[in-house]
Each structure stands twice: as structure tokens, then as C-alpha cells.
Amino acid sequence: MRILLVEDNKALAEGLSALLRGSGYAVDIVRDGASAHAVAAAENFDLVILDLNLPEMDGLEVLRAMRARQNRAAVLILTARGSPEERVKGLDLGADDYLIKPFDIGEFEARVRVLLRRQAGLRSSVVSYGNVSLDLTARSFSAGGMPIEIPARELGLLELLFMRAGKVVAKDAIVQSLTGFDDDLSANAIEQYVSRLRKRLAPYGLTVRTARGIGYYLDKTASAE
């Protein structure tokens, strides 16, 4: 899952970015409204975390422009402007949630998870496919109640494939979802991650199949059907 963090407070932006990246999300940071407007128009994100008091362009104007372009990314407003009027204005312009500074980190993480779950069209925090379950709250996989250990980048790839189980995910969409501006993820690297995932999933009756020239999709093996 890819997140755009729009926050002009450098310390807060870096702290939240480290927290989100530690959970396996791809995070890009911009620190002014004009940059946020340009980046949101050019790139695809699952979630935009948006401050309102921004230099160059107000956060509400960024949000207004996003929704005018039919940008469907989830938006979490994160601001000190907490009056009822401000909250109503932000929600009416198309924000999905509103969190007032200062805030509890646990609540912030929970709201991020809920919004990303909605973006994926999932109602439950636990999703199962074959013998494997994904807990979106803990961001962990298990089979028969036993945890499956997966490195962070492979976890992100499997999570993406899992939430679209049975549907082909294009290579470009995988790169977009798993990388930020400062990352470099080649097609060869994706193939390596896919190869490793196949080996990890084989004992659980799942595999990652290739849609040649398009991308990859999660599927059950013959032994699991």
C-alpha cells in the first residue's frame, strides 16, 4: 500500500513516515500544498494523510482539487484546526476521516488501517484465501492458527496480491504500491520476490501465478482444491 504524507513539520513527518514504513507501507513525503497538489495529480496513492496549514497552498484546496479530478484515494486530515466548522468543511470536501493534533499514535495507526481496508473493499480485518489468513490489524499471515514469517517487502507484495486474490495485479501497479520516490524496485527484483513467495506459500496450498506480459495473481494449487 502506498501513502502520501503531506506535513510541513519535518520532525512529525519523519516520525510518522518511519512508523508507517516500519509497518511495511511505501511512504512519500511532501511539505507544501503546491507539491502535494502536483504529486497527487501525477501519482497513484491508496491513502493521503493531509495537513491543512500548509505553505503555498492550503490543505483544503489540495483536497478540493483532488476530488475535482475524481481522485479516489482515501484522505485522512491530520491538523490542529479542530473546530466543528473546519471538520465539517473537510468532510464535505471529500475527506474520509479527521484526526486532531496532538493525537495518540495507536489511534493514528488504527485509522490508517481502517481507511486502507475500505480502499481495498474489505469489511473485516481478517481475510482468508484457501488455508491462509491475513490479519490487516496486525499485518500478519497465518495458516491453521500458526504464523507465517515473511520479510517486510515480500509481506507488502503478498498483502497486495491477497487483497485482490484471483485477480491479476499489473507489474506497474505492484511497483507503484510498494515503492516511494526514493526507492528503486526493478522488474527483476519483483520476480525475485515472487519466486521467494512461491516457495513460502507452497506448503499452504497457495502460489503466485504469472499472467505473462501483464503481472501476477494469487491462486490455489491443485493439491489445495
The amino acid that residue 132 corresponds to is: V
**How large is the average pLDDT for residues 20-35?**
89
Per-residue confidence band for 122, with pLDDT thresholds at 50, 70 and 90: low
User: What is the pTM assigned to this prediction?
Assistant: 0.72
Tens digit of pLDDT for each residue in 54-91? Answer: 999 999 999 999 999 999 999 999 988 878 888 899 99
Question: What CATH number is associated with residue 6?
Answer: 3.40.50.2300
| Structure-model confidence comparison of residues 95 and 222, the more confident one | 95
108 with 135, same domain: the answer is no
| Alpha-carbon span 6 to 163, nearest angstrom | 26
Both 191 and 130 in a single domain?
yes
Cell representation of residue 87: 471538520
CA within 13 Å, CB half, 101: 16
**CATH classification at residue 152:** 1.10.10.10
Range of the domain at 28: 2-119
Say which residues have a Cβ less than 8 Å from residue 175's Cβ, sequence separation at least 6. 185, 190
Model confidence over 123-143: pLDDT tens digits?
667 888 888 888 877 778 898
Task: Outline where the chain has alpha helix (H).
Answer: 10-22, 33-42, 59-68, 84-92, 105-119, 152-162, 171-178, 187-201
